[in-house]
């Protein structure tokens, strides 16, 4: 659909072992790295730099677009559910090698800035509308924000919330109503 020319090959094989057919088949798919119950951020980055590179050629891609690609294209590995992808995305910015093997995550893109940009830490509450941001693009925004803060020289501290004003308070920033 997007100029990707790949050949799909179907393999047959036996699913030996104990348990029912579904259980044995699931185990074989996991063992053969066809079905993932856990997906490393570096594997996602490899796909984003490779066969999915057109998705983030603008510097970012929404989580829902990435999930749609994994659900639609047979040449991508199968993930057991959305939570597997969400966990990989949450952990992507926390990697010490996030610039080469990970990515940044933001709550949204407003057309000029990433709101709630997370680099160098685990992202929380990744939603389908969240965006995966190329590290080069994220670092450019971080540099611009640091330069802006230095030029202001007002001493109000470091803001890493993309200018939303959220998450900069002290205690009790959970925002929940309890339950």
pTM over 0.75: no
Please give the C-alpha separations between residue 21 and each of 18, 26, 77, in angstroms, as whole numbers.
9, 8, 21
Query: Would you say residue 85 has pLDDT above 80?
Result: yes
- Residue the block writes with tokens 């050629």: 57
Q: Which of 15, 11, 34 is nearest to 24 (CA)?
A: 15
Termini Cα distance of the chain: 46
Residues 6+ apart with CB under 8 A from 2: 54
> Residue 61's beta-bridge partner residues?
132
pLDDT of residue 162: 47
Mean pLDDT, to the nearest integer, of 57-83? 94
> Residue 106's beta-bridge partner residues?
131
pLDDT band at residue 5 under the 50/70/90 scheme: low
Q: Which of 83, 105, 84 is nearest to 94 (CA)?
A: 105
Query: Would you say residue 113 has pLDDT above 60?
Result: yes
pLDDT of residue 169: 34
What are the tokens at 56? 């983030």
């Amino acid at each position: 659909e997007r100029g990707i020319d790949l050949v799909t090959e179907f393999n047959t094989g036996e699913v030996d072992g104990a348990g029912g057919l579904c259980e044995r088949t699931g185990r074989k798919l996991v063992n053969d790295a066809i079905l993932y119950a856990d997906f490393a951020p570096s594997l996602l980055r490899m796909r984003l730099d490779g066969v999915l590179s057109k998705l983030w050629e603008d510097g970012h891609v929404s989580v829902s677009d990435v999930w749609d690609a994994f659900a639609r294209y047979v040449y991508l590995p199968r993930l057991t559910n959305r939570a597997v992808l969400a966990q990989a995305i949450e952990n992507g910015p926390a990697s010490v090698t996030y610039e080469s093997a990970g990515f940044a995550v933001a709550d949204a893109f407003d057309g000029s800035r990433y709101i709630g940009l997370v680099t160098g830490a685990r992202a929380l509450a990744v939603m389908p509308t969240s965006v995966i941001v190329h590290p080069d693009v994220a670092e450019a925004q971080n540099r611009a924000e640091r330069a802006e803060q230095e030029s202001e020289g007002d001493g109000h501290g470091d803001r890493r919330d993309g200018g939303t004003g959220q998450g900069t308070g002290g205690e009790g920033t959970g925002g929940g109503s309890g339950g």
